[in-house]
A and B are shown apart, each in its own frame.
Chain A
C-alpha cells in the first residue's frame, strides 16, 4: 500500500490508515482497514450502503474514534489528545451529505466563523477571503442570505466554501451530492472538479462515477467494513477484480 502511494505521490503521504478496526457496540463497522493517500491525490470511495464508507472518512478527522490500528494525518497521529485532534481538524475540511450549515448565521458568517475563532484571523481579512471563496463557488451574491433561503446546490457550495475558508490541506466529502435534486448535482460537482484540478488532496465518498472517472487517482471499493479493492479508475471500471465490485458496478451503472 505505502509503496504504491510513494510511487503515485512523490511529495509524500497525507493520510495513512493502518490496520484500523471500528466497532459500534458488538457490530464491527470496519475490519482491519488500511489505506494511504498521498499529498495531492484524489481518492473516491464507493460501495454498498452500510459498507463503512462514512465511518472510514469520519475517522480521519476524529468524528468517530477507532479502537485499533493507527491513523496519521500530515504527520500527526489521530488519537485521544485534544490538541492533536484540533490541529488535525484545522488541516482537514469536511463536507457532509446534509450540508450542516449553521442556520442562525448568514452565509458570510458561516464562512468567517472558523477562520476568526479558530485561526484567529482578523475579521476584515476573514471577510475578504470568504467573499473570494463565494465567488469561487459562484454564489458571491448570496453572502448576506441565511442558509435556509438557498437551494440545496447553493447550500452545498457554501458548505464547500466554509470548509475551504480554513485553508485545509485535505478535503473530505461524504456523499456531497446525494441529498441534491439531479439538476443541482452538476453545479456542486463542477466546483469539486475545479478544486481537484487546483491540486487539493481529496477523499470523496460518492456514487457519481462520472466524477470518479474524470478526477480520481484511485477508487476504493468497500463492502461489509472491508476495503475489497483499490485501483485506478480505468482498471476498476473496465475490469473489477472481485465479484463483489462487479456486482456493485452493475447495480449502480446498470440503470
Chain B
C-alpha cells in the first residue's frame, strides 16, 4: 500500500508528453492537427473581436458600432449593467439588491465549506434570508417599501434558484423515501406526483401557476406572482430530484438496512444516520446536474412576466439607442449563468473527491 503511494513516476518532458498524449497513433495525430487548425482559425479572430477591437465605452449602439468597426461593443453592458443586475428595482435603491447578491454569495461560500456543516448553518441561512427579505422589501428601519413586482435581474434569478433548491431538495428526499415506502397509499401518492410532474414541461407548470392557481384559491386570497412561480419551480424540481435520490437509495445494499434495523434504530434514525448519508453521497453528480438545470430553468419565468436576468437584458435591448447589440448582450448573460453553473460543478467535483478521500487521508495519518 505505502509502496504504491510512494512510487512517484518520473516526470515526462513536454515532448514526451506530447508524443504519448497527442501523437500516439495516426488517427490521434490527425485529430490533434485538426484541433490545432481549428484553434488557430477561430481563437485569434474571437480574441480580437471580443477584446482587442472591442469598445468599452459609448453612449449608444450607433456610436459604439462606429467606433468599434469589427469589434465587440461591450459599452452596452457597461451602460446597462445595473438594469441587468437589478431589473426595475428603484434606481437609487440599487444598493439593496446589490448587498443581497453579496449576501447570497457569502451564504453559498460558507455553505461550501465542510467545517461549517453544523446546525448553526441553518441558523445562518435563516438569518441571511431574513436580512435579504428585509433589504429587498424594505418598509422597516427607514427603508423604502419596494413591492416584489419591481424585483428583477440577477437577484431574482438567485432568489428563485436558491429557494428552489432549498425547498425542492428536502421535498425530493421525502418523495423518494415515499416512493420506496411499504405503505401502498404513500407509495401511490409519490409515484403519481413524480410521474405527473415529470410528464409536464416546466413552461406549462409556470403558466398553470400564474393562470390557474388563482382560480382554485378562495376569492379574496391572492398569492403574488413571484411566490406562484417559485412554488411551480420547487414542485417541478422536486420531482426530478426525487428520482435522483431514489437512484442513490437503490444503490445501498440491503445489508445496510438490516444492520441498522438489527441495532434497534427506528426508521427515521436509520434513514437519517445510515442510509441517506451514503445514498446522497453517491448521488452528488446527478444531484448537482439537476441543480444546474434548475438554476438555468429559472430563466423560464420570463414567460409569466417575471423580470429575471434574461428578461431584464431583453428589455434593455429593446431600447432604440441600444438596438442590434444582441450578440454581446447574450454572451454576457451566458457568461453570468456559466460562472454560477461552473462553480457548482467544480465544487461538486471537489466535494466528491474530499468525501472519497476522507477515509484514506485518515488512514495515511496512522501508518
- Are A101's CB and B259's CB within 8 A? yes
* Total number of B residues with any Cβ neighbor in A under 8 Å: 24
**A93 CB contacts on chain B under 8 angstroms:** 262
CB distance from B273 to the nearest CB of A (A): 6
Q: Mark A110-146, 1 if CB is under 8 A from B, else 0.
A: 0001100110000000000000000000000100111
- Are B366's CB and A145's CB within 8 A? yes
- Are A166's CB and B359's CB within 8 A? no
Interface of chain A residues 61 through 119 with chain B (CB within 8 A) = 61-63, 86, 89-90, 92-94, 96, 98, 100-104, 106, 113-114, 117-118
**Choice from B262, B359, B360, B363 contacting A94 with Cβ under 8 Å:** B262
Q: Mark B102-139, 1 if CB is under 8 A from A, else 0.
A: 00000000000000000000000000000000000000
**Choice from A94, A144, A159 contacting B362 with Cβ under 8 Å:** A144
| Given A146-B359, A146-B362: A102 in contact with B269 (beta carbons within 8 A) | no
- Are A114's CB and B263's CB within 8 A? yes
- Are B265's CB and A118's CB within 8 A? yes
A148 within 8 A of B: yes
- Are A114's CB and B264's CB within 8 A? yes
- A145 and chain B: residue at smallest CB distance: B363
B281 within 8 A of A: yes
CB distance from B271 to the nearest CB of A (A): 12
B323 within 8 A of A: no
- Are B265's CB and A114's CB within 8 A? yes
- Are A162's CB and B263's CB within 8 A? yes
- Are A113's CB and B266's CB within 8 A? no
**B281 CB contacts on chain A under 8 angstroms:** 104
Cα–Cα, bound, A167→B229 (Å): 54
**A148 CB contacts on chain B under 8 angstroms:** 359
Cα–Cα, bound, A106→B261 (Å): 19
- Are A118's CB and B264's CB within 8 A? yes
- Are A102's CB and B256's CB within 8 A? yes
- A119 and chain B: residue at smallest CB distance: B264
B171 within 8 A of A: no
CB distance from A187 to the nearest CB of B (A): 20
A178 within 8 A of B: no
**B363 CB contacts on chain A under 8 angstroms:** 145-146, 149
**Choice from B255, B256, B259, B263 contacting A118 with Cβ under 8 Å:** B263
Cα–Cα, bound, A106→B359 (Å): 8
- Are B264's CB and A89's CB within 8 A? yes
Cα–Cα, bound, A212→B181 (Å): 41
A163 within 8 A of B: yes
- Are A117's CB and B265's CB within 8 A? yes
Cα–Cα, bound, A113→B256 (Å): 13
**A100 CB contacts on chain B under 8 angstroms:** 253, 255-256, 258-259
Cα–Cα, bound, A12→B366 (Å): 47
**Choice from A61, A104, A162, A166 contacting B277 with Cβ under 8 Å:** A104
Cα–Cα, bound, A106→B365 (Å): 14
- Are A90's CB and B256's CB within 8 A? no
**A146 CB contacts on chain B under 8 angstroms:** 358-359, 362-363
CB distance from A32 to the nearest CB of B (A): 26
Cα–Cα, bound, A120→B278 (Å): 23
Q: Mark B242-271, 1 if CB is under 8 A from A, else 0.
A: 000000000001011011111111100100
| Given A104-B277, A149-B363: A89 in contact with B259 (beta carbons within 8 A) | no
**Choice from B256, B273, B277 contacting A117 with Cβ under 8 Å:** B273
**A118 CB contacts on chain B under 8 angstroms:** 263-265, 269
B274 within 8 A of A: yes
Cα–Cα, bound, A141→B260 (Å): 24
Cα–Cα, bound, A68→B110 (Å): 56
**B274 CB contacts on chain A under 8 angstroms:** 102, 113
- Are B258's CB and A63's CB within 8 A? yes
Cα–Cα, bound, A100→B263 (Å): 11
- Are B264's CB and A166's CB within 8 A? yes
**B259 CB contacts on chain A under 8 angstroms:** 94, 96, 100-102, 159
Cα–Cα, bound, A96→B256 (Å): 11
| Given A100-B258, A100-B259, A162-B263: A145 in contact with B362 (beta carbons within 8 A) | yes
20 residue pairs from A and B, CB less than 8 Å apart: A61-B262, A62-B261, A63-B258, A63-B262, A89-B261, A93-B262, A100-B253, A101-B259, A102-B256, A102-B274, A106-B362, A113-B265, A114-B265, A118-B265, A145-B366, A146-B358, A146-B359, A146-B363, A149-B359, A166-B263
Beyond the given A61-B262, A89-B263, A117-B265, could you list 7 further A-B residue pairs with CB under 8 A, ordered by the A residue number? A86-B264, A96-B255, A98-B255, A102-B274, A102-B278, A146-B358, A159-B259
Sorted nearest first, the 10 A-B pairs with minimum C-beta distance are: A146-B359, A100-B259, A89-B264, A100-B255, A114-B263, A94-B262, A90-B264, A118-B264, A149-B363, A104-B277
Chain A residues engaging chain B, CB cutoff 8 angstroms? 61-63, 86, 89-90, 92-94, 96, 98, 100-104, 106, 113-114, 117-118, 141, 144-146, 148-149, 159, 162-163, 166
